[in-house]
Amino acid sequence: MLDDTFPEKLETNSNETQLQAREKLLHLFKNNNLPAEELMTSLGLFIRGSALVKYLVLNDLYTRILKTPGTIIEFGTCWGQNLILFENLRAIYEPFNKTRKIVGFDTFTGYPVGDDNDKNGDVFKEGNYKLEDDYEDFLKDLLNTHVECNVLGNNKSIHEVIKGDVSETVREYFQNNPSELISLAYFDMGLYKPTKVALEEVLKHTVPGSIILLDQLTWSDAPGEALAFKEVFKDVKYEIEISKFTPMRSIITLL
Ligand SMILES: C[S@@+](CC[C@H](N)C(=O)[O-])C[C@H]1O[C@@H](n2cnc3c(N)ncnc32)[C@H](O)[C@@H]1O
């Protein structure tokens, strides 16, 4: 549950009226009297457009990689909603594809310290997005449970949640999985160093048609992502477009 200090509030572009409406929606959500099972299948009652956009973006990304082999990987999973949505999109679009691994990386202790390439504003303060201890175990349990719910459930071991600073964990991951291909890499850390290291590593495992999603390429509060991208992609052949659902997200297709 969001509290008053959770960073998502710091990232908002909403005006005062919109923020008040959000508060009211939260109040209605907390005080709804739907039975729990009905609530789980009726979350559309409370989802705001700005959150629905995230689902639409993921759906768009998934449909782009249907003909591309390889793992879906997210850097900066936080609560892990994207991993769960990817698992459910897998079950919808390619229930027979039991090779579509889904992997998420996060410190789960929030942002590490940035460097001179990052802006140390309110959002990127050290420890922001810190989740409760052992959150990654809850997320793994949730992911496995969704796999079990899905028709033609997958082999549980095919999905991974990796805790630690991506600047260190991503190299080890690919050392342990040297043959792995990456079909889709979703970048949402915002900081220069881990984004640069992960982009370099991911590029060694992509194929033509692989997709890189940059969540913060055009956000001036997070210059590190764009700086890392420009350096790593200097000699790479790619196409880039803004997501049709939100100008905040940029989709790169490798040629
Ligand atoms: C904006 S949140 C991610 C939100 C998530 N992708 C979503 O859509 O719900 C950014 C996340 O990046 C993580 N992060 C930032 N730097 C990191 C690093 N060096 N290694 C691992 N995770 C990092 C933070 O812990 C935080 O959870």
Give the domain ranges of the chain: 15-46, 50-254
Confirm or reject: Cβ of 112 under 6 Å from ligand 1: yes
| Distance, CA of 67 to chain centre | 21
CA–centroid distance, residue 125 to ligand 1 (Å): 12
Q: Residue 103 has what pLDDT?
A: 98
Closest residue by Cα to atom 19, ligand 1, is: 165
Per-residue pLDDT, 2: 39
Radius of gyration of the chain (CA): 18
Does the pTM surpass 0.95? The reply is: no
Other Cβ atoms closer than 10 A to 133: 9
For ligand 1, say whether the CB of 161 is within 6 Å of any of its atoms: no
pLDDT in tens, 126-170: 899 999 999 999 999 999 999 888 877 666 678 999 999 999 999
The hierarchical CATH code for the domain 50-254 is 3.40.50.150
Residue 44 burial (C-beta neighbours within 10 Å; 0-12, 13-18, 19+): exposed
Cα-to-centroid distance, 104 and ligand 1 (Å): 10
The confidence score (pLDDT) of residue 125 equals 87
Collapsing DSSP to helix, strand or coil, 145 comes out as helix
pLDDT value of residue 197: 98
Mutation probe of ligand 1 site: the residue of 126, 188, 192, 219 with most atoms within 8 A of C-beta: 188
- The residue whose CA is least distant from atom 13 of ligand 1 is 76
Q: What is the pLDDT of residues 117-134, one digit of tens each?
A: 888 777 788 899 999 999
The pLDDT value given to residue 154: 61
Q: Give me the pLDDT at residue 47, please.
A: 96
Which residues of the chain have a pLDDT value below 50?
1-5
What backbone torsions phi and psi does residue 97 show, to the nearest 5 degrees? Answer: -85, 90
In this prediction, residue 163 carries a pLDDT of 97
Check residue 14 and give its pLDDT. Answer: 78
At residue 229, the pLDDT reads 98
Q: Distance, CA 183 to ligand 1 centroid (Å)? A: 20
The atom number, within ligand 1, closest to the CA of 54 reads 8
